[in-house]
Amino acid sequence: MKYKESFPFGQQTRTNKPIVSVLLTCGITSCFPEFGNIKHKALLPLQGRPIVDFVSTALCKSQVEKVFVVHEPDEDLSKVLTGHEKIIFVECSKPSPTLTDSVICSIEKLFKYYGENELNQKQIMFVPCDIPLVKAKDFNALIRQTFNNDADYCFTVIKNSLLKEKHTGRHYRKVHFNELGDDYSFQSINFIRIRNFRMPEVIGSSPGATVFDRSGSVENLLKRMEDIRKHRHSVIGWVRFAHRITGKAGVTLSLQILFDLLRNSCTETKFGQAIYRTLNVKVAMVESQSATFSLDIDKPADLDYVSRLAMLKTENCSAE
């Protein structure tokens, strides 16, 4: 199934916008008591390296222009990441930063680094730190698809048949897209065109200033992204997400979206229309062929499974 045929919403002529990546590493974990001395999830060990180093290395080997690593002051990632000229560190000094805080810190840094005019010619790929099995080719495959649309925001989906839930011991919330005729799950890679955002003039004199989108505040979009990430396995979470995302789309369309999500029978076109009416944001989907984006590490069982896969791949490479 070709991308151009599968995902029509938001597509225009081909525009090869340069890609910059933002690697989000903030976050404290208490789910791994066996690593009591490790505070941040990004530093969890895998084959003698922190998991974030695998993701950072894959990004640096991909076609992204720069890798902006958002971190908390006490993570000391500069000491543990494999060095590369693409890497730029971004310190998020807010206490216990949320996903929204981390993204806002990164966008502020991007504006300072490039300036508004140059940054408007690029798009940003947001990447979590806990998907250590991902490879550069996986990122490149997604990036190529974003060239085929003119969307403000692209989110990644994958066919559920590729996720092998029985092997991983995980359950993914399925959404059936009528146009595509299959069940899909969302992955945690997101693309944003920076043209949505404007920095206030006070940024030079007021650290931590808020970034504004076309509807007034960047948090309108980012909080909804955080909603779908946190509640992607919950039916109630999907209903709550649908209610927030379709709030200004009109009663009829909002109810249709809610019922479609509950029945796992969503229509991509209606979903896109609702987001555009609510947030004035064009959306599109890119279809992933790599399950590694879905192998994020949230609990010890996830780390054990990823460790076994990594060891198996190492043994296969050695045999070859």
- As a whole number of angstroms, the distance between CA 136 and CA 292 comes to 11
User: Closest Cα partner for 213 from 205, 204, 225?
Assistant: 225
Question: What's residue 6's pLDDT?
Answer: 38
Question: What's residue 165's pLDDT?
Answer: 76
Mean pLDDT in consecutive groups of 10 residues from the start of the chain, 320 residues: 38 67 90 84 94 97 97 91 95 85 88 88 93 97 86 89 80 77 88 72 45 54 58 55 58 67 66 68 87 93 91 66
Question: What's residue 172's pLDDT?
Answer: 81
Architecture of domain 17-319: Alpha-Beta Complex (3.90)
Question: What's residue 94's pLDDT?
Answer: 85
Question: What's residue 11's pLDDT?
Answer: 45
DSSP assignment, residue 62? T
Question: What's residue 76's pLDDT?
Answer: 86
Rg (CA), the chain: 19
Question: What's residue 233's pLDDT?
Answer: 53
The separation between CA 101 and the C-alpha centre of its own chain, rounded to angstroms, equals: 14
- Give me the residues paired with residue 185 across strands: 158
Question: Is the pTM value of this prediction over 0.85?
Answer: no
Domain ranges of the chain: 17-319
Q: Token pair of 92, please?
A: 């998020």
CA atoms in the 13 A half-sphere facing the CB of 220? 21
- As a whole number of angstroms, the distance between CA 99 and CA 117 comes to 26
